[in-house]
Amino acid sequence: MLQVYLVRHGETQWNAERRIQGQSDSPLTAKGEQQAWQVGERAKTLGITHVIASDLGRTRRTAEIIAQACGCDVTVDARLRELDMGVLEKRHIDSLTEAEEAWRQTLVNGTEEGRIPDGESMLELSERMHAALAACLALPQGSRPLLVSHGMALGCLVSTILGLPAWAERRLRLRNCSLSRIDYQQSPWLASGWIVEMAGDISHLDAPALDELQR
Ligand SMILES: O=C(O)[C@H](O)COP(=O)(O)O
């Protein structure tokens, strides 16, 4: 059985400001750095062999901290990036016009072809996240990878493993530096392949940030 751990990066400046990031970037806040150290301390107990991160700055910084705790190197994979939010990237979520908010809502309300102009659809996001996950199956026997990615990206990955369509209404909250685990397994009482063992655990954090996904 292959266990794969999933971590959303630490709180960033734009998370705290409720500014849409997508594939744009902002640095971790002091809180975000603290969260990364705390999830790193927990990861140290999990036997992690590989740390693989989205190539954006916030995920690479989080991965560096986790990898240092686990004694691993960091590998980057751009397929783990956050959903491309197109023309709304960098915008404060409260600054959107009614039409712009309607575009954003299509990403969370179950609209199959939903997307922000110049951005990605949830189906396109799902396809690249599953490709990045499938690459873990080619790691040497006994590997235990930890992937560092983003809120929408990881939420879409976990929800689709549970059998929901990529564009399903979003009902899984993955806070900054939350830890999830998915297993590739053949158990008699579970579907073969990927299953969700744990999702969104923040018990290792002393004071979880009120990141922008839950306000
Ligand atoms: O702002 C965004 O793009 C999302 O709401 C969250 O993205 P993040 O998980 O990369 O902060």
Q: 83: annotated binding-site residue?
A: yes
Please report the pLDDT score of residue 145 as a whole number.
98
Domains in the chain, CATH or no CATH each:
2-210 (3.40.50.1240)
Average pLDDT over residues 23-30: 97
Question: pLDDT at residue 138 above 90?
Answer: yes
Q: Ligand 1, residue 174: give the atom nearest the CA.
A: 9
pLDDT digits 0-9 by tens, 174-200? 999 999 999 999 999 999 999 999 999
Q: 47: annotated binding-site residue?
A: no
Q: 60: annotated binding-site residue?
A: yes
Q: Is 10 in the pocket of ligand 1 (CB under 6 A)?
A: no
Average pLDDT over residues 159-167: 98
Q: What angle do CA 108, 208, 143 make, to 5 degrees?
A: 80
Average pLDDT over residues 150-164: 98
33 catalytic residue (yes or no): no
Confirm whether the ipTM is greater than 0.90.
Answer: yes
Q: Distance from the CA of 188 to the center of ligand 1, in angstroms?
A: 37
Q: Ligand 1, residue 212: give the atom nearest the CA.
A: 5
pLDDT digits 0-9 by tens, 72-84? 999 999 999 999 9
**Which of 82-91, 98-107, 166-175, 204-213 is predicted with the least confidence, judged by mean pLDDT?**
204-213
Q: Distance from the CA of 112 to the center of ligand 1, in angstroms?
A: 20
Task: Please give the mean pLDDT across all residues of the chain.
Answer: 96
Cα distances (angstroms) measured from residue 69 to each of 12, 13, 73, 148, 185: 21, 24, 10, 14, 27
Please report the pLDDT score of residue 207 as a whole number.
73
* Residue 147 to residue 115: CA distance in whole angstroms: 25
Out of 7, 13, 19, 20, give the residue to mutate to test ligand 1, the one with the largest number of ligand atoms within 8 Å of its CB. Answer: 20
Question: pLDDT at residue 208 above 90?
Answer: no
Average pLDDT over residues 58-63: 98
Question: pLDDT at residue 212 above 80?
Answer: no
- Check residues 208 and 7 and name the one with the higher pLDDT: 7
